[in-house]
């Protein structure tokens, strides 16, 4: 990883993978890593897709010749999406198991139609705030890659991170909503297991939608 970036994600591997999962990582993942010179535009991009629920939802909802890129360093999560892509022979979907910022920098300007950052690690301790993936340089970088009608969607259940994001986006063309029910989150297309856990705890979901 480029040393100019502080790591913004946690562990990269959990429990031992099965032989089939190891095979997917070693044999199939290299075939679906994004080659930006060959990818069709526009692009839908998800940073930190966890266990893959949302990126699979995007795969099933897209229309037209749209490419999807998912970035997830946590192997035990990304392998579930990789398996889905493999078993269903999905085309124009790519997985990158490194730092998303490295890839976004290389995207052509005006190539991102949708960008999702759902429930990123809040790094709640003050000394770790610098590791938060959402900061002014990151937002400006992402905005520069949006199409004219492109949208960045961010969701968090962490109050402190929500306040941080509000400050980062101040002065930008964005909307902020509070979601309190499963139905509302499903309507906004951001319902994941992290979302479900937060709602079960009684937490509200802060949704941010940022335009170019």
Helix (H) or strand (E) run with residue 162 in it: helix 159-169
What are the catalytic residues? 121
Tokens at residue 84, please?
Answer: 């889905």
Q: How many residues can be counted in the chain? A: 212
Closest residue by Cα to residue 40 from 75, 64, 22: 64
d(CA 122, CA 133): 9
The secondary structure of 81-121, three-state, reads: HHHHHHHCCCCCEEEECCCHHHHHHHCCCCCEEEEEEECCC
Q: Is 42 within 8 Å of 111 (Cβ atoms)?
A: yes
């Amino acid at each position: 990883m480029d040393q100019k970036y502080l790591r913004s994600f946690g562990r990269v591997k959990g429990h031992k993978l099965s032989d089939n999962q190891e095979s997917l990582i070693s044999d199939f993942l290299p075939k679906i890593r994004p080659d930006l010179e060959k990818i069709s535009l526009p692009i839908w991009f998800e940073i930190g897709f966890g266990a893959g629920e949302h990126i699979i939802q995007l795969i099933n909802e897209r229309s037209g010749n749209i490419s999807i890129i998912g970035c997830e360093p946590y192997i035990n999560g990304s392998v579930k999406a990789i398996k889905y892509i493999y078993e269903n022979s999905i085309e124009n979907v790519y997985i990158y198991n490194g730092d998303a910022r490295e890839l976004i920098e290389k995207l052509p300007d005006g190539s991102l139609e949708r960008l999702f950052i759902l429930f990123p690690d809040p790094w709640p301790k003050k000394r770790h705030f610098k590791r938060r993936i959402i900061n002014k340089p990151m937002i400006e970088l992402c905005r520069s890659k949006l199409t004219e009608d492109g949208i960045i969607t961010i969701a968090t259940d962490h109050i402190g991170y929500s306040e941080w994001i509000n400050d980062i986006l101040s002065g930008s063309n964005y909307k902020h909503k509070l979601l309190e029910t499963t139905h509302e989150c499903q309507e906004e297309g951001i319902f994941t297991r992290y979302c479900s856990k937060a709602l079960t705890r009684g937490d509200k979901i802060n949704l941010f939608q940022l335009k170019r």
